[in-house]
Structure 1
Amino acid sequence: MTEPFASSFVVGTAGHIDHGKSTLVKALTQIDPDRLEEEKRRGMTIDLGFAYLQLPSGRRVGIVDVPGHQRFLKNMLAGVHGMDAVMLVVAADEGPMPQTREHLAIIDLLAIQHGVAVLTKADLVDAAWLSLVREEVARLLRGTSLQCAPIVAVSGTSGDGLDELRAALDAELGQTTPRPDVGRPRLPVDRSFAMAGFGTVVTGTLVGGALRQGDDLVVLPGERRVRIRGLQQHNRPVVQARPGSRTAVNLSGRLDARLVVLPNATQPLRHRQRLLIYHETAEAMVELSLLEADELRPGEEGWGQLYVTSPMVALDGDRFILRVPSPALTVAGGVIVDSAPRRHRRKDAVVLSELGLREHPDPGTAVVLELGKHAWGLSEGDVGRRLGGSRQQLADTLAPVADRGAIRRLGSRWVTREQWERLSARVTAALAVYHQGQPLRSGMPKEELRSRTGIPAELFNPALVALTGDGVVVERNGEVAAAGHRHGLTPEQESAAGAFLADLELQPFNPPPLADLVRRHQLAPSLVQYLVTQGRIVRVNDDTVFARSAYDDAVGRLRTHLSEHRTLTVAAARDVLGSSRRYVLPLLEWLDAQKITRRIGDDRILRG
């Protein structure tokens, strides 16, 4: 599942040890940022922790939880780099402490101007004490870059105040200036680790420009050239990362190759053997993973995956030499068939079959195999860069493969048939769940569908066009529904709606308050909205609704009066309808909003 960049921000914590920073992050995100066993054992954050959440506005936020202890200030400084906003955490039962002040001073020096002061453990103190701590924190913030920051009291254990905190963070991030994209991406690395099945992963906050899956980078110091095998934001794979996002990058140091052992080699190649690879002008140490057998004897061939200790720039089809380091002997050579592969299981028939196809692929097979390595396919330009050849050669390759249905174009990208089927299944499954839970809605909002399916934005609209053309979905008025979906009321809901409408029609121009009617008939808000959408009632304000027949009658009477008298006052409307100001005024304001009437002073006239 790979999606494109969406609006993304980085928020960090700051504050004294044991003031509840990690507890707060876990309460906000349901993710425990303390990832080290020592942290859990000692009950304190030592290294940087990471979590993520989505705010009510839809903004995605990566959260960096920094250690509060003075001994780990270096780690705190690594984490505070690149923050869009900060949560300055102060325990309500202790108030500001030494690291509170030191962290605030660092924030001020770095000119981080957006944030929220969070009073944690608010459930442990009474209101009077909480008020004193709030005043002390306000004094502490004066004259700093956070002097305008809101102060929010929360309890990480009970959850009180968390919604207010989310809203405050949303508001603060809404005032931030987007990080500039100057076309020179840099990723200051604050963490690196090896992950089974992925290889080396580095994380940091991206600045200066965008990174895309497949981009080549230079690692400094050392000027090592590496390739991005994958990108993640907030634990989700993405096609592209932009400045200001927490990003994880895979560095390519793995090669799939067809190996040939020299007939006169004095020893076989063995699984897990360490060798020297010579590729063009580069020399590097590699560890060999034999994929078919435990060893290859002199004169034998086989498939292997090479783990390069110093990642190198290599292309499919490149040849290389393998030597034993000591005694220095040339024992084998080979051809690279995939310069950016996934990690493979050994002795896997599917893997070996795919490698066989890669060894001497026809152009169409090469396209399908390359697209299949990427969850959401590739752009045509990326396909061309990976396969080589001119634009015309690429077009000549893609056309027949598309004609036989093996690949499909979606906007600017190409996907395989299997990827398209997975995408289609994901959309239909999401719609099925939505229709079951929202039977009165005509469809699912497009952005909600995109969010739930995780389909990249650049693919989403072209995919909807294709799914509509295939008769799988129907799109209308910003909503998407499964083809054949019919929304409507159950017999029980129709009965409740009928009783509700009958109550409205008893006093057509003096209807009971909507809240009273909802309680009386035990109506769900979704049913009321359905009646509005279907035009069976007209809701003129939060607590005033008219039956459609009463509304049409009222509009007709008021039009007649305006035709005869040219103007209409609130008092005249009240007399025409035999109603009261309580109902007439919101009705007239509604008619103004619908451009049926126009207010001029205390009078209204008929438009058009």
Structure 2
Amino acid sequence: MQVVATAGHVDHGKSTLVRALTGMEPDRLEEERRRGLTIELGYAWTTLPSGERVAFVDVPGHERFLGTMLAGVGPVPAVMFVVAADEGWMPQSEEHLVALETLGVRLGLLVVTRADLADPAPAMKQARARLAESGLGQVEALAVSGRTGQGLGELREALDRLVAALPAPDPEAPVRLWIDRVFSVHGSGTVVTGTLPAGRIEVGDELALDGEPMRVRAMESLKEPVTSVTGVARVALNLRGRVAPERGHALVAPGGWTFTDLVDVRLTRARDADDFLPQRLTAHIGSAAVGCVVRPLGGNTARLRLSRPLPLHLGDVLLLRDPGRDPRHRDPRHRDPRHRDPGHRDPGHAIRVLAGASVLDVRPPELRRRGAARERAAGLETASPDAASLLRAHRLLRSEELAAMGCAPSGRPVCGEWHADPGYWSSLGERLPEVVRRYAAEHPLEPGMPLEIARHELDLPDRRLVTALVRPPSTVADGRIVSGPSGLPPPVARAVQRLAAELSAHPFLAPEAVRLAELGLGPRELAAAVRAGALLRIADGIVLLPGTDVRAAALLARLPQPFTVSQARTALKTSRRVAVPLLEHLDRKGITERVDDAHRRCRSLSPGQTGYMVG
């Protein structure tokens, strides 16, 4: 299925044409039928000669209902532009075209109606010339009569060609369904309708509405029950949830969109619109119409503060309209467009569509410093709606954040789910060694810089990012960035090496405090070496090399069990000053245990091995 919107001046035959094509009545309100005026959005559908089905969104042409017209056109990829042969180009023709051009609609048909009432050639020539100046360009044009049926066959064939030219939507795209109708059905509950431009919805899916979960209980498309539908499609969803849906709100795939009330945008001024933008405007997207405050940043960029959060992606286009410009208050001579030359553009008709706003950032940074707005504008001038531009602005983003902004991550993450701007990541890699060196100079006896402090210094959101930046010869050990294998400051590392050389011949003969000081190992240096695991402290003032206690246990296991302190001292070739605390250390580790006041044994031996019975 494809969906096409109508557009054109009030009472130019849009609804009549849709009725003639489909055999259905698009005007659904009694007041609409009584007044012959479309007030609300109407929907009808038909099967084209190719077998393709097309649904029409019939929008109101009256100037007072421009907001409703935009709600119908917003999610639709193509337009059937209608101009009456007996009236030609009119004020709302112009305003609808400006809206379509600003929204970026680029595919459509020109249909000149009432060909039975007047020669369609002048109106067609005039309308084609105006459309050619717009984004629609050279569209196919036909003359028809909804009353007599003239040209309807050719129009159906032209619609087939238009539908075939529309781009295929992505069925895997995240769902965003702008709600354009809400009503209750007896026995079913709340039903909403909208145009699904892309993605897939299935019965049982859980969608989000203003952050709250909503379950799809049942679904129809073109009044036929379905269990699954892919865009483009007109759908009606029977919902269950705690939130009351409203027109202008959107059902979205959870996590697929960024809800934001602050966006940075690139402005495209509407044709003939003033260069000056009022501060307060109405922003339209999909069926939503929200107030917004415009803050110019510089050039063609601005920041919009929306009156409520909307689910947005980069590249979305918001249409900015001035609700304060009421074209009904123009010169009385121009109030009735039927009393003037059809080829004359009404100087009293103020175009209320002022600009299109293409979203460049859905999470823009704060502007606190003097000149920050100017700097931001310079960055946005070259920005594009892609991950690379986002990362240049935000420097670091998680994969899920990029997806919610509408940008597939480019390249591999630098760490876990984190993606980084390449230039920024390179600069961090250059800064980290200097940060570590500065910390080592300020804390010479610490084994290394704690990762958390490094994270704070580099202003990073995740400690894992610091770990990913560490490069040899630095390493990460026990939550610290250490330089070299020992993780000690160079002077302490050299002192430990000298001590190790002295202990190589007599590993259990721990030096006195005086000798340790001569080696450069005072109390603070010893504490740093012990924290780094470069030395083993067995008692105050007594240190050995790591693993010496295990070597001692192996030697003691060879003694007749149990053994005395004197026997242990002799086996280890050390002094009583070292032997006693070393044995107590082994007791604490469970390697040895006391048998009585004078004897110990290695716990790996059973009492029966020596014939000495315990207790």
Q: TM-score, normalised by structure 1?
A: 0.39
Counting helix residues as a fraction of each chain, which structure ranks higher?
Answer: 1
**Superposition TM-score, scaled by structure 2 size:** 0.39
User: Highest Rg: 1 or 2?
Assistant: 2
